[in-house]
Amino acid sequence: MEKGLELSRKYFLETAEPKLKEAFPELYPRLAAGLCGNGSECFGYDDEVSRDHDWGQDFFLWVTEEDRGRIPELVSWKRNLLTFFPPEHPRTQSEYGASVTVMTCGDFYRQLVGTPDVPDDVLKWFRIPENNLAMCVNGDVFMDNAGVFTSIRRCFLEYFPEDFRLKKIAAKCMAIAQTGQYNLQRMALRKEPVTVYTVVSRFIDAVTGLVFLLNRVYRPYYKWENRMLRGLPVLGADIGSLLERLVSVTGLSPEALDLQKDAVDRICRLLHAELKRQGLTSSDDWFFSTHGEEARSRITHEVIRSLPATYE
C-alpha cells in the first residue's frame, strides 16, 4: 500500500509545484512546502485503518514572515488547485482533524510548541509537550526555496539541550525504580490487580521515555510510541520485545510474579548498561534511583539541578 506521505509528495512535485511556480513567479523563490505535523502519515505509520478520516494527499505551503499578507491568495490558489486538479486520494478532515493549509514558517512551529523558533532559554523546554516536538520534525519538506523552514526544523532536530535531557533521564530512572523495581511485586503480593496494571503501565511509560532519551529522539503521541520504539537503534528492538513479554503476563500467581520480575530485571539490566555506556552513571547499584540521582548530579544549570530528581 502506498503511504500518504509518498502520495502527497508525488502530487505536489508533479501537479502542484509547476502550477505554483507559474502562478506566483515572484513569490515562488521564497516558498516552502511539505507535509509534517499531525497525522499517522507524517510518521509513515498510516495503513488501511488510517484512511477512514484525516487522511489523503495534501501539503502545507509555508511563507516567510514578510509574505504573511500573501496567505489569502495562496489559500485561494490551493483550494482551486485541489478542485480542478484533484489528487487520486483527496484528504478528508474530521471535526477535530488538523488543517493542512498555508501559514508562515513561524506560525507552523508556534502552533506546536508556542514559539516561532527553538526556545532561547533551556527552562522554556519544560513547557513543551514532547509529542509536539516529534511533530515538528516528522514528515518531509518537499521544497524550501528560501531555506527558512528547514533552518528552524534543523535546530529542533538537534534535540533537547543536554541539561534538560539529563533532567528527564533522572526523572525516568526514578519512576522505573518506584514502579517496576519496587511497587510492582509489593502490590501483587497485596492482591491489588488494578493497581498492578497501573504500576505496569507507569513502568512501561518510564522505560519507553528513557529509551527515547537515550536515542535522542523525540517521543511521539502515545498511539505511535511503541511502534517507533521498536525501530530505535539503541535498545529499541530488545526493550520492545521485553515489554511485550511483560504485558503478556496475566494474573497474580507466583508463576506470573516470577515472569514479571524476570522481564523487569532484564529491561533494567539493558538500560543500566546503556546508561553506563553513555557516561550517565558510574554506579553498579541495582536500584534505579541511584542512577537518577547521578544523572541529575551531571546537570550544570543551577536551577534545573536544584529540582527534585522525580520532577520532569
Do 142 and 181 belong to one domain?
A: no
Do 63 and 111 belong to one domain?
A: yes
For the chain, how many helices (H) and strands (E)? Answer: 15, 4
Which CATH number goes with the domain that contains 221? Answer: 1.20.120
Identify the sign of the CA torsion 235, 236, 238, 242. positive
| Domain membership flag for residue 180 | yes
Q: Which ranges of 129-253 would DSSP assign to H, the alpha helix?
A: 130-137, 148-157, 162-176, 184-189, 193-215, 222-229, 236-247
| Domain membership flag for residue 264 | yes
3-state secondary structure of 100: coil
What per-residue confidence (pLDDT) applies to 218? Answer: 98
Do 118 and 20 belong to one domain?
A: yes
Do 185 and 236 belong to one domain?
A: yes
Do 135 and 195 belong to one domain?
A: no
Residue 57 exposed, middle or buried by CB count within 10 Å (0-12, 13-18, 19+): buried
What per-residue confidence (pLDDT) applies to 95? Answer: 82
Domain boundary among 102, 125, 157: 157
Identify the sign of the CA torsion 302, 303, 308, 311. negative
φ, ψ dihedrals at 33, nearest 5°: -150, 150
Task: Extract the C-alpha cell encoding 25.
Answer: 513567479
| Domain membership flag for residue 311 | no
| Domain membership flag for residue 224 | yes
Each residue's pLDDT expressed in tens, for the chain with a length of 312 residues: 789 999 999 999 999 999 999 999 999 999 999 999 999 999 999 999 988 888 999 999 999 999 999 999 999 999 999 999 999 999 988 888 889 999 999 999 999 999 999 999 999 999 999 999 999 999 999 999 999 999 999 999 999 999 999 999 999 999 999 999 999 999 999 999 999 999 999 999 999 999 999 999 999 999 999 999 999 999 999 999 999 999 999 889 999 999 999 999 999 999 999 999 999 999 999 999 999 999 999 999 999 999 999 998
Do 26 and 137 belong to one domain?
A: yes
Convert the pLDDT of each residue in 187-231 to its tens digit: 999 999 999 999 999 999 999 999 999 999 999 999 999 999 999
Domain boundary among 116, 133, 157: 157
Do 200 and 151 belong to one domain?
A: no
Question: What residues make up the domain containing 196?
Answer: 162-306
DSSP-assigned beta bridge partners for residue 61: 33, 102
What per-residue confidence (pLDDT) applies to 250? Answer: 86
Domain boundary among 157, 188, 216: 157
Q: Could you give the CA distance from residue 36 to residue 57 in angstroms, rounded to a whole number?
A: 12
Do 150 and 166 belong to one domain?
A: no
3-state secondary structure of 24: coil
How many domains is the chain built from? 2
Do 11 and 36 belong to one domain?
A: yes
Do 152 and 231 belong to one domain?
A: no
| Domain membership flag for residue 108 | yes
What per-residue confidence (pLDDT) applies to 54? Answer: 87
What per-residue confidence (pLDDT) applies to 92? Answer: 86
What per-residue confidence (pLDDT) applies to 97? Answer: 82
Give the length of the chain: 312
Do 212 and 298 belong to one domain?
A: yes
Do 122 and 97 belong to one domain?
A: yes
| Domain membership flag for residue 312 | no
| Domain membership flag for residue 36 | yes
